[in-house]
Amino acid sequence: MSKRDFMEIHELERGFAEVYRTRLRPRLDTLQRQRKAVVRRTLLELAALIALALFAGFLTWDYFGEDYLGRLVLGEAMVGLAGYMLVRRRARGWRDRMFAIVMPEITGFIGNLDYSASARDPKFAEVFRTRNLVGGHNRADIEHHVSGSRRGTPFEVAQAHLEQVTRGRNSSRRTVFKGLLVKVRAPYPVSPMIHVARDYGGMLNRVAEALTLGHRRHRERVMFDDAAFEERFAVYSADADLARATITPGLARALIAIDDEIGGQGRDAPLTAVFDGDWFYMAIPRRQDLLAMPSILRSEIDLEAAIHDIFADMTRLQRLIDRLHGY
């Protein structure tokens, strides 16, 4: 693996270089040796599969002749699929081992955080669906669940990949949402609900309303004095005064900053949020995983960029909680 020292960039990372040097790097050296052994074993198994496929093909061709060509091709395709599944399974196992080493060190260093490779509640995404922050789905892959508190405020964040899968003759798989789902205790119970959506402009807002089955129906658009916020977001609530008191100028700037950092001016994947009762819910779309681990096929383990990313995400979350509670 890379022998260079970890360079601290974010304020939240201060002191982590020592943790990286004394705790992470020795364990990653061991993992590097394991990676080489896994790659060797995988290559040998793939070679055995290919050899078996060629031998079987030779025998069946000799026995059945050209009439067996279609079945032979199908058999070869099945062997190829088996090889792909083998590599994918090994890669996922390698990634999970990396997470098991890295994430507890990061969450332990930050403090007041618990990490789980998967959401403790398998229906974690359901509360976001019922509030129309994500679309309907029948397959949910929830990973890297982090829970804890910031200044006494409990929160949860998890990476979600939500899909709508259709079986049968016209089977299909469509990604409904990929990104982070965030749940933070609100500063006070909020009722009626406040919905923060993308501002597409008058006509397009009505189209978005129709496409999302009217989740803002019977709520009025609440206008804010912040022109930058108004240009980016549309807020809906039955209580305009409550909405303006809840979405303070500091919180509005924090939402704009997060939206900017995810390339939020792009209207195909908007940041959306809801205040409902005791909780603030937010869906942050993103293509990149919460912690992008190096491939099992890479000859060197260099986690510095991935670790910087997770510290940046936690910094954004802390900033959001602080602004939400008026700090």
* Whether residue 142 sits in one domain with residue 23: no
* Whether residue 169 sits in one domain with residue 59: no
The reported pLDDT for the residue numbered 1 is 47
For residue 287, report the phi and psi dihedrals to the nearest 5 degrees.
Answer: -80, -35
Residue 127, in any domain of the structure: yes
The reported pLDDT for the residue numbered 203 is 53
Structural domain ending residue among the three candidates 82, 111, 140:
111
Are the beta carbons of 221 and 234 closer than 8 angstroms? yes
* Whether residue 270 sits in one domain with residue 148: yes
Residue 315, in any domain of the structure: no
d(CA 184, CA 155): 4
* Whether residue 61 sits in one domain with residue 42: yes
Q: To which residue do tokens 């599969």 refer?
A: 49
Amino acid at 175: T
d(CA 222, CA 219): 9
| Full-model pTM | 0.79
d(CA 4, CA 21): 9
List of long-range contacts for 71-75, beta carbons under 8 Å, 24+ apart? none
Structural domain ending residue among the three candidates 75, 94, 111:
111
* Whether residue 257 sits in one domain with residue 201: yes
Tell whether omega for the bond before 187 is within 30 degrees of 0, i.e. cis: no
The reported pLDDT for the residue numbered 170 is 79
> Residue-wise pLDDT tens for the chain (327 aa)?
455 678 899 899 999 999 998 988 888 777 777 777 777 777 777 777 777 766 666 666 555 555 555 555 655 666 666 666 766 676 667 777 778 888 889 999 999 899 988 887 878 999 999 998 998 898 999 988 999 999 899 999 999 999 999 887 778 889 999 989 999 999 999 999 999 988 766 555 555 555 554 455 447 889 999 999 998 899 999 999 999 999 999 999 999 988 887 765 444 557 899 999 999 999 998 876 655 555 545 544 567 888 888 898 899 899 999 999 888
* Whether residue 275 sits in one domain with residue 199: yes
Query: How many angstroms separate the Cα of 41 from the Cα of each of 26, 36, 44, 48, 315?
Result: 23, 9, 5, 11, 40
The domain tally of the chain equals: 2
* Whether residue 196 sits in one domain with residue 286: yes
Structural domain ending residue among the three candidates 47, 80, 111:
111
d(CA 259, CA 199): 13
Residue 255, classified by CB atoms within 10 Å of its CB into exposed (0-12), middle (13-18) or buried (19+), is: buried
Query: What's the chain look like in SS3?
Result: CCCCCCCCCCHHHCCHHHHHHHHHHHHHHHHHHHHHHHHHHHHHHHHHHHHHHHHHHHHHHHHHHHHHHHHHHHHHHHHHHHHHHHHHHHHHHHHHHHHHHHHHHHHHHHCCEEEEEECCCCCCCHHHHHCCCCCCCCEEEEEEEEEEEECCEEEEEEEEEEEEEECCCCCEEEEEEEEEEEEEEEEEEEEEEEEEEECCCHHHHHHHHHHCCCCCCCCEEECCCCHHHHHHEEEEECCHHHHHHHCCHHHHHHHHHHHHHCCCCCCCCCCEEEEEEEEEEEEEECCCCCCCCCCCCCCCCCCHHHHHHHHHHHHHHHHHHHHHCCC
* Whether residue 189 sits in one domain with residue 116: yes
Residue 321, in any domain of the structure: no
* Whether residue 102 sits in one domain with residue 59: yes
Residue 172, in any domain of the structure: yes
* Whether residue 269 sits in one domain with residue 170: yes
Q: Which two tokens stand for residue 277?
A: 């009762």
Are the beta carbons of 152 and 137 closer than 8 angstroms? no
Establish how many alpha carbons lie within 13 A of residue 71's alpha carbon, considering only the half-sphere containing its beta carbon: 12
* Whether residue 199 sits in one domain with residue 94: no
Residue 163, in any domain of the structure: yes
276 pairs with which residues across the strands?
279
Residue 326, in any domain of the structure: no
d(CA 160, CA 94): 20
Residue 316, in any domain of the structure: no
Establish how many alpha carbons lie within 13 A of residue 86's alpha carbon, considering only the half-sphere containing its beta carbon: 18
Residue 144, in any domain of the structure: yes
* Whether residue 79 sits in one domain with residue 162: no
Beta strand 139-150 with 233-237: parallel, antiparallel or unpaired?
Answer: unpaired
Q: Which domain holds residue 50?
A: 11-111
